[in-house]
């Protein structure tokens, strides 16, 4: 099993990254404020307008260290990549499947089956753990509706039909999301999922977390030799990591959504960690990003038993394991792609 390495997060826009031997050096102006050996890193993620030297970018590309540049609000800007890894025959097979709607649908159904199953698991666990604090009647009704959505998804005969079922299920799931916020209710409320830009604190956290997880899915797919841009459910679009977004779907609820809820309910973040722009956009400020990303690193190191492999792994390796299983299916080593079913 692949070893989980560290991710270096740069949360300040006035830091500059450079290379010194086998180390990444972090500087503010002419003052060095830190350095880390590259062999301990699997990714570098900057938030804001931090710069990086060409030498460092070249080294990261050569060492297959993912280097991602995000805006201060968490939106993707750019990614440094080196040469493509993996067997060209694997990618050719991936492209043939992507061009075949019937075969693409088979995989996409599994992605969305995993997504809706996990949304339902989040709700069912909340009912089990916090029955006295929640409207369990509403939550149970939504859980049953999601169960019906699962049955409909398995019978989908076209990608557009599948997208319709997925959107309907997501709307039902998010209709009860505000119930799952148990602390800081006056500062953190959720009415509807909005993005580009997020208009409240909860949506700001969700969007930021989805961006981080999308980067992890992209890196995982590249590591196993797949093209993250050629998806089976998300359509092709220049610059869009469609397959990474496909893989993201089944991980949203158990990985990202539960992490956001945990950060709010455990008071890891509070209202002072956010800023609002003139256009109404809400985003984490620098101090908020530091606290949030520190908790994200801790989350990645937590252990779970993978439902398909039945092995203990870190949460940070889940995207890699799912990418590996997808590659094995595309190569013909598995009869079907096994979604990540969280319990």
State the pLDDT at residue 49: 67
Give the alpha-carbon dihedral of 150, 213, 291, 32, to 10 degrees. Answer: 180
Counted domains in the chain: 2
Which of 14-23, 180-189, 212-221 is least confident?
A: 14-23
Q: What is the pLDDT of residues 27-43, one digit of tens each?
A: 888 888 888 888 878 77
**Residue 97 shares a structural domain with residue 55:** no
Same-domain pairing of 180 and 327: yes
Say if 342 falls within a structural domain: no
Report which of residues 47 and 259 the model is more confident about: 259
**Neighbour tally for 324: CB within 10 Å:** 20
Q: With a cut of 80, say whether residue 1 has pLDDT above it.
A: no
Q: Domain range for residue 13?
A: 6-80
Q: Is residue 341 assigned to a domain?
A: no
pLDDT band, residue 315 (cuts 50/70/90):
very high
- CATH number where 319 lies: 1.20.120.920
Q: Are residues 38 and 134 in the same domain?
A: no
Residue 177, domain member (yes or no): yes
Provide the mean pLDDT of the chain.
89
Higher-confidence residue: 40 or 98?
A: 98
Residues 175 and 265 in one domain: yes
Tell me which residue of 15, 3, 4 sits closest to 289, measured CA to CA: 15
Contacts for 63 with CB less than 8 Å, ≥ 6 apart: 38
Output the pLDDT for position 239: 75
- 313 lies in the same domain as 203: yes
Do 207 and 255 share a domain, yes or no? yes
For the entire predicted model, the pTM comes to 0.84
Lowest mean pLDDT among 27-31, 100-104, 179-183: 27-31
pLDDT of residue 254: 96
Q: Which of 80, 97, 128 is the last residue of a domain?
A: 80
% residues pLDDT > 90 (the chain): 58
Give residue 206's pLDDT band: very low, low, confident or very high (50, 70, 90). very high
* Domain identity same for 14 and 154: no
Same domain flag for 48 and 176: no
Residues 166 and 256 in one domain: yes
- Mean per-residue pLDDT, 129-146: 92
Please identify, among 80, 99, 125, the residue that sits at the C-terminal boundary of a domain.
80
For residue 85, the model assigns a pLDDT of 59
pLDDT of 172 higher than 80: yes
User: 100 or 87, which is more confident?
Assistant: 100
Rounded Cα distance, 56 and 70, in Å: 17
Cα–Cα distance, 158 to 203 (Å, whole number) = 30
Q: Give the CA radius of gyration of the chain.
A: 20
pLDDT score recorded for residue 3: 61
Polymer length in residues for the chain: 343
Predicted confidence (pLDDT) per residue in 61-73, tens digit: 888 787 878 776 6
CA distance 229 to 262: 31
Residue 101 lies in a domain: yes
Indicate whether 72 and 138 sit together in one domain.
no
> Nearest-5° angle of CA 310, CA 221, CA 12?
105
Are 106 and 70 part of one and the same domain? no
Of 80, 110, 128, which residue sits at a domain end? 80
Task: Verify that 66 and 212 share a domain, yes or no.
Answer: no
pLDDT of 244 strictly over 90: yes
Is pLDDT at 74 greater than 70 in this prediction? no
> What is the arithmetic mean of pLDDT over 200-225?
92
- pLDDT value at position 4? 60
């Amino acid at each position: 099993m692949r070893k989980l390495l560290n991710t270096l997060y740069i949360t300040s826009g006035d830091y500059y990254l450079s290379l010194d031997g086998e180390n990444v050096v972090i500087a503010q102006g002419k003052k060095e404020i830190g350095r880390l050996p590259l062999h301990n890193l699997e990714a570098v993620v900057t938030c804001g307008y931090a710069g990086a030297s060409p030498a460092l970018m070249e080294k990261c590309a050569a060492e297959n260290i993912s280097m991602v540049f995000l805006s201060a609000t968490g939106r993707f800007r750019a990614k440094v990549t080196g040469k493509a890894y993996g067997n060209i025959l694997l990618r050719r097979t991936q492209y043939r499947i992507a061009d075949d709607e019937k075969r693409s649908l088979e995989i996409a159904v599994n992605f969305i089956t995993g997504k809706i199953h996990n949304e339902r698991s989040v709700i069912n666990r909340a009912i089990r753990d916090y029955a006295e604090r929640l409207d369990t009647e509403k939550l149970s009704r939504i859980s049953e509706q999601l169960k019906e959505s699962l049955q409909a998804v398995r019978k989908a005969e076209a990608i557009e039909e599948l997208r319709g079922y997925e959107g309907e299920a997501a709307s039902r799931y998010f209709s009860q999301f505000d119930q799952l916020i148990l602390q800081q209710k006056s500062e953190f409320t959720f009415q509807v999922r909005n993005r580009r830009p997020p208009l409240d604190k909860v949506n700001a956290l969700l969007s930021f977390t989805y961006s981080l997880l999308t980067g992890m899915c992209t890196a995982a797919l590249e590591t196993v030799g797949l093209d993250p841009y050629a998806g089976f459910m998300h359509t092709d679009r220049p610059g869009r990591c469609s397959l990474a977004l496909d893989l993201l779907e089944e991980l949203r609820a158990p990985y990202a959504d539960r992490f956001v809820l945990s950060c709010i309910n455990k008071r890891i973040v509070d209202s002072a960690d956010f800023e609002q722009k003139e256009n109404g956009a809400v985003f984490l400020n620098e101090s908020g990003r530091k606290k949030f990303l520190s908790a994200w690193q801790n989350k990645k190191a937590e252990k779970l038993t993978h439902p398909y492999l039945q092995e203990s792994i870190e949460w940070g390796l889940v995207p890699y394991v799912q990418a590996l299983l997808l590659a094995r299916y595309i190569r013909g080593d598995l009869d079907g792609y096994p979604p990540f079913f969280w319990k």
